[in-house]
């Protein structure tokens, strides 16, 4: 996890923007991230295919898509429900331009042509969604982006020439390159891990750049940002474009991991799940969405069996997720990150009082 | 104490291309309003205001609450553009320009109720103000601690005596400190004209002294309009006064003329502020 290391140390490069308190906070987070990264790198030695791809891999991908929401909401104050849709556009496009079981639609272009095209189209879509909602705030942003998400869902459901309607696409394998078959579980896992770590590092880094700080300024006070020389609308749209890039990469990985995409991959309930993941994890730090994603995936994967084991109806797993969501939001508005910060603050203060 | 003149002089070189162009072209009055009116629905907040302020001129705008003083500033900055009439800034018609374009041309303002970035630190707030009028607003590269912009940021922070809280979140600051920060944000970059909206409101007597010192020490080429209820502050830092009442200008003159004026005394100084 050299990536994560370099990010966290280079954060100190901007010492001018951080106080000592922030520095020590960074240092303690640095250690936690490092250990987590190391565990993820050596995981294939210990875990089987199911855990690697279906649990951790899936979590990292959902984490990336939720990260794109966290970037917009946490730093920009813009709650966009269209991030899963951006991922879905990229996922559909990789199936249309690349390989699938549908020769009537798919163009079977090589991955190094299909993937950039899919990402470009998804980023264009995400930027357009941003342009539509950048002049709105709060509930109106949510409504516009939700409308876009539902529109795309119905488009995929009803359009057969491009989206193959109800059935969608299957058999969309990860490519074969550099002599590695990336479809195989361990390479696929490492590819997902690489892009998840890269997006995480990029968001952490950008949060302290002029662009990222200005975005936080827009969140706190858009009117004042105008009055110190920033074009607030342009800044918001640029943030949507960057978030769309992360979501688009996540969308392609999701299709390669799942080996299929259909309208139900981009349905409104999935869109809402991304919001839930981001909120459960916490919107104040880029690690939040990944924490939220692993919690969601574990509940999703194991709740059914554990409910049955205690004699309840397994189909109630959604209720369990809902309850978990309720409890976390009730006790900590900033999700698991908020709980963690409160817990470490308490540990710190009790340690210092013991020392006295 | 760091001198205002030194801090602002150091930031004088126009840093954005627009500022460079304007510095080359800048002629005419700093602020020129012609027939400016502003309606909120049926309510006329400003009626037919015509006002010129020379470059480097320091002017107070006085008037009771609801006289339209803040609306006047909002029309100049574009926060709320005028319903009719035109606004010129150093000869250029800026009536339809968005606020950020006016700011990049050298206009600055402070707000009556502090409009700050509550979840960022003092240093980050000042940094954003400096970055906002320079290149690289969209930069994806972090600013190094050795970058010259960080020196400007530190200078502005010491100018308003906020060194001790420079790395605290603005939301945690006392009211007076937030007011000081408001002023620091307006001095960032290369200001050519500043609009101060009740800068002394909520300041302690000591802090008011500092404010007067900062204002009087501004380089001579920087003019300003100040709205201020505290006459001790207002009349000490300006050379001309505009009196407003019910959205209209009804008197202009030097501070001593205004103070002596019968009508003014009746309408304004004779009121709650006596």
Q: Answer for the pair A296, A280: CB distance below 8 angstroms, yes or no.
A: yes
Distance in angstroms (rounded) separating the CA atoms of residues A265 and A274: 12
Distance in angstroms (rounded) separating the CA atoms of residues B138 and B141: 9
Of A14, A20, A225, the CB nearest to B142: A14
- pLDDT score of A1: 30
Mean pLDDT on A83-109: 89
Q: Give residue B35's pLDDT band: very low, low, confident or very high (50, 70, 90).
A: very high
Distance in angstroms (rounded) separating the CA atoms of residues B123 and B101: 24
Contact A230 B104 (CB under 8 A): no
In percent, the amount of chain B with pLDDT more than 90 equals 54
Give B111→chain A minimum CA distance, Å.
9
Per-residue pLDDT of A110-131, as tens digits, reads 889 999 999 999 999 999 999 9
Mean pLDDT taken over chain A = 86
Mean pLDDT on A326-352: 82
A236 touches chain B (CB under 8 A): no
Name the closest residue on chain B to residue A224, using Cα atoms: B115
Chain B residues touching A216 at Cβ < 8 A:
117, 119-120, 124
Per-residue pLDDT of B193-226, as tens digits, reads 999 999 988 888 888 988 899 899 888 889 999 9
Contact B100 A21 (CB under 8 A): no
pTM for the structure as a whole: 0.86
**Biggest alpha carbon distance in chain A?**
75
- pLDDT score of A27: 60
Contact B137 A10 (CB under 8 A): no
Give B271→chain A minimum CA distance, Å.
33
Enter the CATH code of domain A49-355.
Answer: 1.10.3470
Query: What residues does each domain of chain B span?
Result: 4-269
Contact A14 B144 (CB under 8 A): yes
A230 touches chain B (CB under 8 A): yes
Give B204→chain A minimum CA distance, Å.
25
Give B104→chain A minimum CA distance, Å.
6
Query: What residues does each domain of chain A span?
Result: 49-355
CATH fold of B4-269: Rossmann fold (3.40.50)
Q: Residue A45 has which token pair?
A: 């030695």
Chain A residues touching B99 at Cβ < 8 A:
226-227
Mean pLDDT on A184-195: 92
Per-residue pLDDT of A268-308, as tens digits, reads 989 999 999 999 898 999 999 999 999 889 888 887 788 78
Q: Is the pLDDT of residue A107 over 90?
A: no
Per-residue pLDDT of B74-127, as tens digits, reads 999 999 999 999 999 998 999 999 999 999 999 999 998 889 999 999 999 999
Per-residue pLDDT of A200-249, as tens digits, reads 999 999 999 999 999 999 999 999 999 999 999 999 999 999 999 999 99
Q: Give residue B190's pLDDT band: very low, low, confident or very high (50, 70, 90).
A: confident
């Amino acid at each position: 996890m050299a990536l994560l290391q370099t990010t966290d140390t280079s954060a100190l490069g901007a010492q001018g923007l951080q106080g000592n308190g922030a520095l020590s906070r960074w240092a303690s987070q640095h250690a936690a991230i490092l250990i987590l990264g190391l565990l993820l790198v050596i995981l294939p030695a210990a875990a089987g295919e199911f855990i690697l791809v279906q649990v951790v891999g899936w979590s990292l991908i959902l984490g990336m898509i939720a990260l794109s929401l966290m970037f917009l909401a946490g730093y920009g104050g813009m709650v966009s429900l269209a991030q899963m849709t951006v991922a879905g556009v990229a996922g559909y496009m990789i199936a249309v331009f690349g390989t699938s079981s549908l020769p009537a639609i798919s163009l079977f272009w090589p991955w190094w042509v299909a993937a950039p095209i899919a990402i470009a189209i998804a980023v264009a879509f995400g930027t357009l969604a941003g342009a539509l909602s950048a002049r709105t705030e709060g509930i109106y942003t949510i409504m516009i982006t939700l409308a876009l998400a539902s529109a795309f869902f119905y488009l995929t459901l009803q359009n057969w020439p491009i989206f193959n309607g109800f059935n969608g696409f299957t058999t969309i394998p990860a490519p074969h390159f550099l002599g590695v078959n990336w479809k195989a579980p361990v390479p696929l896992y490492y590819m997902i891990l690489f892009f998840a770590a890269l997006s995480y590092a990029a968001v952490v880094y950008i949060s302290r750049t002029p662009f990222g700080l200005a975005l936080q300024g827009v969140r706190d006070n858009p009117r004042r940002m105008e009055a110190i020389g920033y074009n607030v609308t342009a800044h918001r749209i640029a943030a949507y474009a960057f978030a769309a890039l992360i979501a688009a990469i996540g969308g392609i990985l999701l299709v390669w991991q799942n080996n299929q995409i259909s309208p139900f991959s981009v349905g409104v309930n999935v869109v809402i799940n991304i919001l839930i993941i981001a909120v459960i994890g916490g919107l104040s730090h880029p690690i939040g969405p990944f924490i939220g994603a692993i919690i969601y995936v574990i509940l999703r994967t194991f709740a059914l069996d554990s409910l049955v084991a205690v004699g309840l109806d397994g189909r109630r797993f959604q209720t369990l997720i809902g309850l978990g969501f309720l409890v976390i939001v009730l006790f900590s508005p900033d999700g698991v990150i908020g709980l963690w910060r409160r817990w470490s603050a308490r540990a710190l203060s009790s340690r210092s009082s013991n020392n006295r | 104490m760091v001198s205002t003149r030194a801090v602002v002089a150091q930031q004088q070189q126009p840093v954005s291309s627009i500022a460079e162009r304007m510095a080359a072209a800048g002629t005419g009055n700093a602020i020129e309003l012609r027939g400016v009116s502003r309606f909120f629905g049926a309510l006329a907040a400003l009626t037919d205001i015509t006002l010129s302020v020379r470059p480097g001129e320091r002017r107070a705008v006085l008037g009771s609450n609801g006289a339209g003083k803040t609306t006047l500033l909002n029309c100049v900055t574009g926060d709320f553009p005028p319903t009719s009439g035109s606004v010129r800034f150093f000869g250029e018609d800026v009536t339809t320009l968005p606020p950020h374009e006016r700011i990049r041309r050298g206009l600055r303002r402070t707000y009556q109720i502090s409009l700050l970035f509550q979840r960022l630190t003092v240093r980050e707030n000042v940094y954003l103000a400096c970055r906002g009028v320079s290149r690289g607003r969209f930069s994806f590269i972090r600013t190094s601690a050795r970058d010259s912009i960080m020196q400007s940021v530190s200078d502005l922070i010491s100018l308003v005596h906020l060194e001790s809280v420079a790395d605290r979140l603005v939301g945690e600051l006392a009211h007076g400190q937030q007011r000081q920060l408001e002023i620091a944000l307006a001095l960032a970059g290369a200001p050519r004209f500043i609009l101060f909206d009740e800068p002394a409101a909520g300041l302690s007597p000591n802090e008011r002294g500092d404010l007067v010192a900062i204002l009087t020490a501004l380089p001579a080429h920087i003019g300003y309009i100040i709205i201020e209820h505290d006459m001790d502050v207002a009349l000490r830092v300006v050379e001309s006064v505009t009196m407003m009442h019910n959205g209209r200008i009804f008197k202009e003159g030097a501070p001593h003329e205004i103070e002596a004026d019968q009508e003014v005394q009746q309408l304004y100084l004779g009121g709650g502020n006596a």
